[in-house]
Structure 1
Amino acid sequence: MEDVRFLVVDDAIFMRTVLKKMLTDANFTVVGEAGNGLQAIEMAQQLQPDIVTLDITMPEMDGIQAIDRILEVSPNTKIIMCSAMGQHSKVVEAIKKGAKDFIVKPFEKTRVLQAIYNVMNR
């Protein structure tokens, strides 16, 4: 697969670190990271990543609120939502707004890679 560029968005530094390691171990490129939806929009506009992994629950602006704006400033970007268990209704809302897939915390590498291949092959 060609070099896929990622923006990793999560308010928890630990979760960003775990996900970045999974991505770089799979030979993907992480071009940036953000801790909330406002930063994610700004970075998506600047970096034009192929995929944004977007946490649902964050301060200042959550992932659901950020979806429309990210797709507005970076229309070719695919969004994979990151959710905790029990956030099914939020994931459904995110998919309706334009997210292409979701992964559940704690992250399982096989599921993360499956979600990436799913969105890149659409």
Structure 2
Amino acid sequence: MEKRAINPWKWQDERSYVQAVEVKNPNGTLYVSGQTAISAEGASSDEDMESQLKLAIKNLEQVISGAGYECSGIVRLNIYTTSTDELWPHFSILQEWIAKNNIKQAATLMEVKSLFETLKVELEATVVR
């Protein structure tokens, strides 16, 4: 598989995403449902944004690795939050995770009116290998 990031500008680099990702000759594509701060027992978290973001990332990693893929293969990451104001102070957690895993992804961040039950953030990904 070949991945190529397309960035006509530099400003997106400090925001931890790319403008587009071209993938040639993938061996598989994994479409991951939105992962949130839900426990292994199925209980929705009522903790703060930081705790929920960390658990959503952990759950995303678990689904990806359980399918035999790697986080470095993420080419699309949609981030849904009930409050960008609450997310911003903790956005570095996501940025550090992206850098640690050498992820180069197209991304969309959307503030939504609500998520399931008490959830504040949801991560949806497309992964290739």
Q: TM-score over 0.5 for the alignment?
A: no
Q: More strand by proportion, 1 or 2?
A: 2
Larger radius of gyration: 2
TM range (shorter): 0.3 to 0.5
Whichever structure has more helix as a proportion of its residues is 1
